[in-house]
Copies of this chain bind each other. A is one copy, B any other.
Amino acid sequence: MYNVALFGAGRIGQIHAANIAAHPDCRLQYVVDLYQPAAQALAEKFGAQVATAEQALNDSSIQLVAICSATNTHADLIEAAARAGKAIFCEKPVDLSLERVERCLATVKETGVTLMVGFNRRFDPSMAQLQQSLAAGEIGQTEIVTISSRDPGAPPAEYLKTSGGLFRDMTIHDFDMARWLLQEEPVTVYASASSLVDPAIKALGDIDTAIVTLTCASGKMAVITNSRRATYGYDQRIEVHGSEGMLAVTNLPESSLVKSSLSGVVAQKPMYFFLQRYAEAYRLEFASLITHLKSGTAVTPGGEDGLQALRLADAALASLTSGEVVRLKA
């Protein structure tokens, strides 16, 4: 039985709390949140206790901490948890600063604790099956990875201010998917982007519409198209073209009802919200962590995956700023 301390009782913390509580091998022991009413409510719902970070980390019965607090607390909490010898799950990103991430991961490495970074899409059943089919050679050699990733609507300006910008906040998931599917580190990054969706985003100096191309030394390539707004729902598609075929993950409709009439043949929109679209992914992500902890096998995605995705995000931003292709060290 793993006793778990959860940091952060917000939207994403609530998702993980439910998955922790429902897992047969876990017990949600502590909920930590500076905003006490949220911590209290979540703790009560799942029979846990409210605690401070110190209490949670100093309790030797806690084997695992789940970090779902604000981004700017992640690196510090990871380090503190690592020094306390806890296994760690941390929502992406580790930090918005590459240097800070590197420092944090060094600490993790020193202490030898397990760290999983929350790239939840790897655990979506359709995307996991895509990756397994690729790995099994079902379409031969991978040639082109195409990722369409579009949010249903732009987040509030308040959120965007501290988000790190489109590439570090949103595209970072797609960079992780690209690396995971290419199975090779990109050597060039080229980004085009515009502010077409929301003047508030432009005012912040951020972008909302982007195309990013990645190339690998072997000739494999990936392209990501992003938008902060898709009127028809949460658009999450991946397509991999290989020497012997193509694998594609399409959107999941809100229901399977289809209406045919004078207006056409109308199917349902894709699920609107990431919490709905990836509910199963979050559950399987946590279950995967526990499985690996139990068997002592390596956990993925780990800190290095978080670091590499951030490197690609930074390179994309550099490309956008300079208008030039950015070359990465192999």
- Which A residues lie at the B interface, using CB under 8 A? 125-126, 129-130, 133, 138-139, 141, 143-144, 146, 148, 150, 188, 190, 192, 194-197, 209, 211, 213, 215, 219-221, 223, 225, 227, 229-233, 235, 239, 241, 243-270, 323-325
Contacts and interface: CB of A to CB of B under 8 A. Distances in A.
Given A225-B241, A246-B232, A252 B256 contact: yes
A262 to B, nearest CB: 5
A21 to B, nearest CB: 10
Nearest to A150: B241
A271 B77 CA distance: 41
Contacts of A249: 255-258
Given A150-B241, A196-B141, A225-B146, A258 B262 contact: no
Contact of A194 (B221, B248, B270): B221
B250 A258 contact: yes
A257 B144 contact: no
Contacts of A255: 125-126, 129, 249
Contact of A231 (B144, B211, B244): B244
Nearest to A248: B258
6 closest A-B pairs by CB: A194-B219, A245-B261, A232-B260, A126-B255, A246-B260, A265-B267
B259 A138 contact: yes
Nearest to A269: B264
